[in-house]
Amino acid sequence: MSQKTGYAGPLEQVGPCQWKIPKSYREDMRVDGLIFADEHLIDAIKADQGPVQVANVATLPGIQTASIAMPDIHWGYGFAIGGVAATDPEQGGVISPGGVGYDINCGVRLLRSNLTWDDVKPHIRRLTETLFDDIPTGVGQSGQYRFDRPKLTKLMEMGSAYVVGQGWGTERDIDFTEAFGRLDGAEPDRVSDRAYQRGYDQCGTLGSGNHFLEVQVVDRVLDEVAAEVMGLREGMITVLIHSGSRGLGYQVCDDYLGVFKHAPKKYGFVLPDPQLACAPVKSEEGQMYLGAMRAAANYAWCNRQLLTHQAREVFAKVFAKSWESLGLDLIYDVAHNIAKFEDHHVGGISKCVCVHRKGATRAFPPGHPEVPLIYQAIGQPVIIPGSMGTASWVLAGQAGSMTQSFGTTCHGAGRAMSRTAAVKLAAGRRIDKELDAIGIIAKARGHKGLAEEQPAAYKNVDHVVDVVDKAGISKKVARLRPVGVIKG
């Protein structure tokens, strides 16, 4: 399937920021497609093949209500990145690795601090360089933490609690992580030997591509009440960490795409794209993948916890104070490549559905039982990374997410061009020098990685966030601008 082919099918505007692909568009669609976008973004979205993939996902057995896409939607493997789909296991609903993604539980976490930009500005270059020197980044990089098979098995069973138990974090870190950093039902014995080998020395490493660790400044606060609850104020230094399950998660996805290859024929359904390979949740294949996917998700939470521990150590070194005295506390950690079983209202009744979030973030509203007690009045914190030259956002989940998007919002700016096109655009340029000129210190393993991730390669994150705010699925709380970035 070519990524270059755009979408020429029907799109009906059904709300200020909602566009429908009616299920009448194709005989194989079981539900409508629903894309969150405004008039400006929808034109760019139609130029990509993302809407075609939204229509394809609408053909999945057991899919509920609609095949949904967020404003940062762009072409992906099977599902568009920015895609959301809920399936009902009691109606033959399926689980699809393409609806989770290769980087299982890729996600983000945000730390606040007691430091201000005035405190950090004289040290920002040294701080960024020390973070880059001390935290492993890049393809295939190994870290200081090694977990043999018995330890890695335990880690994948327990999630964040395992590494916190080794002294690499606090109980508070667990409390402020989605699902407390652990999906129940993880089955490490469903993870292949090759995945174990890849995971042995990569927990606590940043990886490559769009993964990063950023030192940021709270640029402005838009919701004073929610910001106060989260402990955010203008001028404060924050740290944003974006990484996932590294080679282990990639291997799990790859392994199970092979297992699922013949499942549609076996279970009697036809798919418009082989990349949508899936199996019923209640099938042997579905249960095998769920056990392995949960194990990889738990690994990813441990990875971000170990990255947090290393970042805290760097701050302590540079500022000659304990990280506790610097106030480097976790605000929240959220996944944006995952499948989870949640209760949602569908057709007027509450049912447990399997929610696929592929490049999309959970955004539970005020009062939801899974939102930490301190955030009950404002809604779950939602962390939206932008490009390294623009900004990131902190949002809060809103009630509209439960009625419109299975408790989900966007996950980032969303690519506006391919990595190949971005590298071509950067020919003869030094992206690090360009960023330095606007006050952002960027460190990476090579110029190619910075070229691929240059700001021009992404949509305007402010624009993307405007859409989800206007749609009432998450509201803007604070804007963060980067001052120091490390990438693979």
Burial of 419: CB neighbours in 10 Å, binned 0-12, 13-18, 19+: middle
- As a whole number of Å, the end-to-end CA separation of the chain is 29
Neighbouring C-beta atoms of residue 28, cutoff 10 Å: 14
User: Could you confirm whether 411 is annotated as catalytic?
Assistant: yes
Percentages (nearest 5) of helix, strand, coil residues in the chain: 40, 25, 40
- Contact between 99 and 80 (Cβ < 8 Å): no
Closest CA to 488 of 299, 210, 244, 249: 210
448 three-state secondary structure: helix
Out of 336, 344, 368, 411, pick the active-site residue: 411
Residue 17 contacts residue 50 (beta carbons within 8 Å) = no
Q: What is the CA radius of gyration of the chain?
A: 21
Report the distance separating Cα 218 and Cα 120, nearest Å. 13
369 vs 392: CA distance, rounded Å: 27
Q: What residues pair up with 476 in beta bridges, in sequence order?
A: 395
Q: Report the distance separating Cα 3 and Cα 301, nearest Å.
A: 31
**Coil/strand/helix, residue 386:** coil
Helix (H) or strand (E) holding 260: helix 246-260
d(CA 225, CA 328): 21
Which amino acid appears at position 290 of this protein?
L
Cα–Cα distance between 149 and 1 in angstroms, integer?
39
Bridge-based pairing state of the strands 212-221 and 107-111: unpaired
β-bridge pairing 237-243 and 107-111? antiparallel
Helices marked H in 29-109: 39-46, 50-57
List the beta bridge partners of residue 415: 458
Sorted by sequence, the CB contacts under 8 Å of residue 344 that are 6+ apart come out as 64, 86, 350, 351, 353, 355, 402, 406, 407
Tokens of 406: 């299975």
Q: Give catalytic residues, as residue numbers.
A: 411
